Structure 1
Amino acid sequence: MRVISKKGFVLVVASGFLLLALIYSWCPGKKPSMDIGLKQRGHIENLLKKRNKDILSSYHDIPYVLKESVLRELANGTCECQADENKINLQLPHILFPRVWASNLNHAYLESDSDPEGVKGRRDKEYSSFQRRSSSPADVLIVAEANSPLQYPTQGVAVRPMKTIIIPGLGLKQDPRPTHTVNLSVTMGTLDVAATVVGVSITGEGQKTMELSSNILSKLNRQLQFVTYTNTLFHPKTADTVLYESGGHQAAFTIKVGHSAIPKLYNSGTNEGYNISALVTIATKTFLRYDKLQDLIDSIRQYYPTVLIVIADDNEHPQPVTGPHIDQYIMPFGKGWFAGRNLAVSQVTTKYVLWVDDDFFFTESTKLEKMVDILEKTTLDLVAGAVREVTGYSATYRHTFSVDEGDSEGDCLHIRQGYYQTIQGFPDCVVADAVINFFMARTDKMLRIGFDPRLSRRGHLEFFIDALGSLHVGSCSDVKIGHASKIVLPWSKSESEKSYDKFRYSSTDSEGRMHTEVYYFKNRFKCMSSN
């Protein structure tokens, strides 16, 4: 008995170690957390700003003379809309002599509002959030201090098409000599100066190449602080390369040319808390499952009675779905999954859209406020929750993508289960590339990416692959939605369930080829891997 007990003990210990090994292999290691909140940039950016201020404010004691013809073209941080004066009194002046008209939007919009200051406050808050989300470290001005001896901006210089800017950070640091000379050349614009400094010779003003020289280095450096660039060749998004030379030393830097992004702001109508009905629209696509769709609607109304529900319906014999705050849009029969998503999202006018499948249902854990909160306080564009099955298991379906550069045959796509890191301040939330079908997103971002309507019966990762590099995606496991059971005995299925299965799970050669074409031709992948 003692021998058997020892063997049993050894077996139990070995089994325990095996179980621990399995648990360790199944559970990913703790991921680092990252702060993606909407706040100012970090310590390095603050140092850069201070250094730039010191560089740009040097030589202030050297006098200069302003050049009015150039100053008029420089952006000064203010703008006005002025209408042409009607000096000709004719019956049809707008036809014979078209005039510029102007409208004061501040006056026109705010004069009829009961709380104009509140509206202005909400707009300022929205715009500040937009600026922080859309900014990039690559936009920060960085000046390479003279090591060569040329001093020039390495990044962060931008001009709008056909506009004029002062090129910041130009300078020359060298030992005294009889004459100090610099040359600048551009290809998509012209160079000039906004002011002139006595004792500095300038040739090529208003041309693509300009030379500046002086026997006093400090005066030349002061003159370099007034060098301007004017874009003359329009392109919506490109860059001009500036060649900067002196005494055999040469440097090059770019000036980005393009329109700035126009903000798309949403007026929620309140400055206090989150008005979910004003911020969120719930969108879904239905096909042959009106019973489950009604369960979804009933569950939504239990928790959010006034949130708008948008339904895309491609049934052959559509049934009206009625009730307050419900918009049903009928599509051609069998148009498909992604086409329905496009239609539903296209009708959303709120800041956020919540996507749900028609066989989901809301529970006490479906807290839309939590999803809005993380989207409002971070740079995320889309945040998913978890889908809770009837078995009690909650799925989050998190994946990361990696694209390896390939050859003439295409690139390689690698899909892996997992995520990048947790989000500081939101311990139940992580950053990933693809998430489950229960997600809330910024409406304008969803519309910008869209869904490939050729994917009619199945499709999910394809959207997130199209969004790679454009969409900042997160997932929070503490917001859960219920999922109707798919465990139905074959002999107990209704006719609509049988028809749904036939459409949903039948696969044809043409559909399989379409999925292959999406990856191979549209996305230019030669292979893909996944776990």
Structure 2
Amino acid sequence: MRTTRKCLGLILASGLLLLALFYAWSPGTSSGVDIWQRQGRPVKKLNAKMQDIISGNPDIAYHIKEDVACRLAQNPCVCQGDEETFHLPFSNLLFPRMWAHKLDVPFLESQPDPEATKRHRAQEYSSFRRRSYSPADAFIVAEANSPLQYPIQGVEVRPLKTIIIPGLGLKEETRSDHMVYLTAALGTFDVAATVANVSLKGEGEKHMILSSPLLPALNRQLQFVTYTNTVFHPKTADTVQFGTEGHQSFFTIKVGHATIPKLYYSGYQTEYNISALVTIATKTFLRYDKLKDLIDSIRQYYPTVTIVIADDNKHPQPVTGPHIEHYIMPFSKGWFAGRNLAVSQVTTKYVLWVDDDFIFSANTKLEKMVDILEKTTLDLVGGAVREVTGYTATYRHTISVEEGGEEGDCLHIRSGYHHVIEGFPNCVVADAVINFFMARKDKVLQVGFDPRLARQGHMEFFIQGLGSLHIGSCSDIIVNHASKIKLPWTKSDSQKAYEKFRYSSSKTNNIHNELFYFKNRFKCMVSI
């Protein structure tokens, strides 16, 4: 009887394990994006902006449409994970729960003066807002039934330069006198030409009035109105007030330098010249045997592609060969510091990042990565990593930030992707990918890698790049991963030393908490 029960238990456990593995490994087939809140989180109040919009008619009743309102951002956000309602073997794989990790408590507890740290963070955030805020971000509505015609957006001027403001006009019934005025804060107004029967006041000043008894003449004069920026700033905007009797409107003029293009000449080729377009970058530490296998595999398929190696070993060994650049760093300088060094030495348009224990195969097609980057607006495209077990991982995630008030914001990380890339059926758009990717070198340098992350770090790069990196992931571009399975008594001294550095967690965890809580002003991280 006991034997029968044991057999039934083993059968049930095996079945659950197989189901869990199938659930975890099966690739997603839907191209939709999950924008729905989980059940059990009712809408408590409307977004603050919507409250402002509807408050103009307090006597008119309204009814909240729950399925739409639930998608609106809650303010402040709530750091709350799912409660575990039942527990079964492998339940986390079968029914993954959303977990929440508070970042403020563990970090502040490690500080000698937590309140001073909070004040410091608040000051830094206030300074950041002042540096990054632009009046062009302000929410301005062009009221209906206004006789004023004006550009809503798209007007730009270089610092301290002059432009004609396009699109100004007045549309009203004929009267004895027609008048409009313009007011600015960072510049002055004038006209490029004068029109008969039009009176001008305030030429060359921040406030100018135009009037005429003839509406067609006034509209003609408005076509010559100029704006001159008088306050230098490399990137800001001026909010212009444009009004007439009983009506006023606002529009913005962006002030800023033109973006300087960064073009890479690799020579005209009918096919992609990978050696001229791509540099392979890696970081090594205590794993010269793995590094040699990586280089040998690369040379099998790409014999002339440059390989840049950042090395922070205590006793560095020479790594030589054609098209190899080996840079020695201070001992144990770290993972992200090595990434910064390696990428900084890349001179080609694209950089391919690989770990030093990867192995190229016939499926590691760099040409396809280049093709995607050349034909799309993507800045970075990741591939897939195949383990010795045969399992292939893509590690795709979406990332979002929810406003959370004075205590900080909430960081949300979810497994999945946004949508399939048209023309590349095996590729999708995501916010974070696996540690095997090709990217535009300048965009990687723009985001950078925090050198305090010495031995552990990956998702942090993509969190820093949120909003500036356009990322894709392809499941059919595959690199192999060297086996990590080693029996304890077969490990070499270098392997033991590597694991000691790689998996020391106490200091690393505190650095992660500091980066997220203080540097990025998050109060919690929610992941599933």
TM-score tier after normalising by the smaller chain length: 0.7 to 0.9
* Structure-1 residue corresponding to 2:36: none
* Structure-2 residue corresponding to 1:340: 338
> CA–CA distance in 2 between the matches of 1:470 and 1:220?
44
Mapping of residues 77-88 of structure 1, within 5 Å: none
* Structure-2 residue corresponding to 1:525: 522
156 and 261 in structure 1: CA distance in 2 versus 1, 3 angstrom threshold: same
* Conserved 8 A contact 2:283-2:310: yes
Structure 2, unmatched stretches of 5+, are 1-13, 34-135
Tell me the TM-score normalised to structure 2 length.
0.75
* Conserved 8 A contact 2:456-2:508: no
Candidates 452, 456, 459, aligned match of 2:450: 452
> CA–CA distance in 2 between the matches of 1:146 and 1:217?
21
Residue identity matched to 1:369: E
23 and 319 in structure 1: CA distance in 2 versus 1, 3 angstrom threshold: closer
> CA–CA distance in 2 between the matches of 1:215 and 1:382?
59
* Conserved 8 A contact 1:311-1:344: yes
Q: How big is each residue's C-alpha offset from its partner over 1:310-342, in whole Å with a ceiling of 9 and x where there is no partner?
A: 000000000010000000000000001000000
* Structure-2 residue corresponding to 1:409: 407
Pick 1 or 2: higher relative contact order, CA cutoff 8 A, min separation 6.
Answer: 2
What is the Cα deviation at residue 31 of structure 1?
3.6
Mapping of residues 34-53 of structure 1, within 5 Å: none
Is 1:183 the counterpart of 2:189 in the alignment?
A: no
Residue identity matched to 2:195: V
> CA–CA distance in 1 between the matches of 2:489 and 2:257?
62
SS at match of 1:162: coil
> CA–CA distance in 1 between the matches of 2:30 and 2:161?
46
What is the Cα deviation at residue 22 of structure 1?
9.5
What is the Cα deviation at residue 201 of structure 1?
1.3
Residue identity matched to 1:427: P
> CA–CA distance in 2 between the matches of 1:26 and 1:342?
33
* Structure-1 residue corresponding to 2:385: 387
* Conserved 8 A contact 2:142-2:249: no
SS at match of 2:327: strand
> CA–CA distance in 1 between the matches of 2:468 and 2:385?
25
SS at match of 2:150: strand
* Structure-2 residue corresponding to 1:235: 233
What is the Cα deviation at residue 145 of structure 1?
11
> CA–CA distance in 1 between the matches of 2:395 and 2:310?
24
* Conserved 8 A contact 1:144-1:153: no
> CA–CA distance in 2 between the matches of 1:247 and 1:255?
23
What is the Cα deviation at residue 202 of structure 1?
1.1
> CA–CA distance in 1 between the matches of 2:26 and 2:152?
44
* Conserved 8 A contact 1:398-1:419: yes
* Structure-2 residue corresponding to 1:281: 279
* Structure-2 residue corresponding to 1:258: 256
* Structure-2 residue corresponding to 1:76: none
Candidates 208, 217, 223, aligned match of 2:206: 208
What is the Cα deviation at residue 511 of structure 1?
2.3
* Structure-2 residue corresponding to 1:512: 509
Candidates 256, 265, 268, aligned match of 2:266: 268
Tell me the TM-score normalised to structure 1 length.
0.74
* Structure-2 residue corresponding to 1:496: 494
Residue identity matched to 1:487: I
250 and 342 in structure 1: CA distance in 2 versus 1, 3 angstrom threshold: same
* Structure-1 residue corresponding to 2:478: 480
Residue identity matched to 1:314: D
* Structure-2 residue corresponding to 1:170: 168
What is the Cα deviation at residue 33 of structure 1?
7.8
What is the Cα deviation at residue 27 of structure 1?
5.3
Is 1:437 the counterpart of 2:419 in the alignment?
A: no
* Conserved 8 A contact 2:142-2:250: no
20 and 451 in structure 1: CA distance in 2 versus 1, 3 angstrom threshold: closer
> CA–CA distance in 1 between the matches of 2:407 and 2:447?
25
* Conserved 8 A contact 2:358-2:481: yes
* Structure-1 residue corresponding to 2:221: 223
Identity %: 75
* Conserved 8 A contact 1:31-1:422: no
Q: How big is each residue's C-alpha offset from its partner over 1:26-46, in whole Å with a ceiling of 9 and x where there is no partner?
A: 757644489xxxxxxxxxxxx
What is the Cα deviation at residue 502 of structure 1?
1.3
RMSD of aligned Cα (Å): 2.5
Mapping of residues 6-155 of structure 1, within 5 Å: 30-32=29-31, 147-155=145-153
Q: How many residues align?
A: 412
SS at match of 2:403: strand
Q: How big is each residue's C-alpha offset from its partner over 1:139-177, in whole Å with a ceiling of 9 and x where there is no partner?
A: 9xxx97983000000001111100001111100000000
* Conserved 8 A contact 1:146-1:172: no
* Conserved 8 A contact 1:285-1:311: yes
What is the Cα deviation at residue 20 of structure 1?
9.2
Q: How big is each residue's C-alpha offset from its partner over 1:62-119, in whole Å with a ceiling of 9 and x where there is no partner?
A: xxxxxxxxxxxxxxxxxxxxxxxxxxxxxxxxxxxxxxxxxxxxxxxxxxxxxxxxxx
298 and 19 in structure 1: CA distance in 2 versus 1, 3 angstrom threshold: closer
